[in-house]
Amino acid sequence: MEETIMICKFEECERAAKTAGYCGGHYAQKWSGKELKPLRPRTSATRLFLENGLRVCSDCGEAKDPAEGFYKSGGNKCRNCHDEMCREWRNKNAERVPEIQREWREANEGRTYTDAKSGYVTHIGYAHPVANASGITRHHRIVLWDKIGPGEHACHWECGTTVSWDKTYPHDPNGMVVDHVNGDKSDNRPENLVPSCGRCNLTRPGVKKASRPKTQIGPCSVEGCKKDAKAKFLCSTHYQQQKAGKSFTPVRTYLKTSRDVNGKECGGCGTYKTWDNYYSRSNGVGYQNQCKPCMIQHNTQNTLDRKAKEVAA
């Protein structure tokens, strides 16, 4: 099966067709009842890239790898934000979803493409026993079906589990999972595909599952904070403060204290003291991080702050 790319029906548009023969922009115009007009040309100026090659999401502000963190046609939103936007739209337009899905299947009948998210070769409208209710079929499942046939089969990795085409993983642990022996999703040769249970597909030895590298976007943008930035160029604590509408306050730093069999350094004053100068924990296991004087001072200050808030309220 050769992979085909359908072009938008609008004469002046050269973008790939997605729904009912139109690209995303012209289909939105058609659905809203507007006159079809040429779309603005795409420019890379609206995309924010950092010096290290990472791309910044326009919604969450996180810097991610352009190839793994963004869809090819997802605009300036990262994969997570784009998926969240789609879920919100589906919830608001639940009644229109079946009609849109029907139009999409009719417009893409017989199309073969490589899924941008999973990396699997996918067929639409291909009549086969392993096709789902929407008529979408993964090519590797077709190849393995033709190789081993229908019914139940033992897991190739000899774990004792019997898997079946009639069951769906992860809804059923005995559902058929097609495993690529060499870990390459694009290698759909019959000798590279074996039946597997879900557990062996994830944990079997021999193939290291690909993982997304952890990206670093520098320190928190709040002055004086040395923690790594996580979202919107803020550390997790300052991001939660901004989300709650609070003013930025210094983040408490936790020092690693040295200890021995006789005592340890206090996490508050930094002085080494024996164990009898510490309160035991409420569960009876171990001691508090701060010595007794520091604990008393800390609790007293918390009580004064609470009373001040009650008076202000």
Q: Identify which has the larger pLDDT, 76 or 218.
A: 76
pLDDT tens string 124-176:
766 677 777 667 788 888 888 888 888 888 888 888 888 888 887 777 778 88
Report CA-CA distances (Å) from 157 to 42, 164, 181, 205: 48, 15, 10, 10
Average pLDDT over residues 39-53: 58
Band the pLDDT of 197: cuts 50, 70, 90.
confident
User: How many Å apart are CA 230 and CA 151, to the nearest integer?
Assistant: 48
Phi-psi sector, 229: left (phi>0), alpha (psi -120 to 50), beta: beta
pLDDT number for residue 264: 86
pLDDT in tens, 225-244: 888 877 777 888 888 888 88
* Exposure on the CB side of residue 302, measured as CA atoms within 13 A: 6
* Predicted local confidence at residue 277, as pLDDT: 92
Q: How far apart are CA 56 and CA 69, in angstroms?
A: 10
Q: What is the pTM of this model?
A: 0.39
Provide the 3-class DSSP secondary structure of residue 298.
Answer: helix
Lowest-pLDDT choice from 1-15, 28-42, 182-196, 197-211? 197-211
- Return phi, psi of residue 60, to 5°: -85, -15
User: Tokens in use for 150?
Assistant: 């229908």
CB 243 within 8 A of CB 95: no
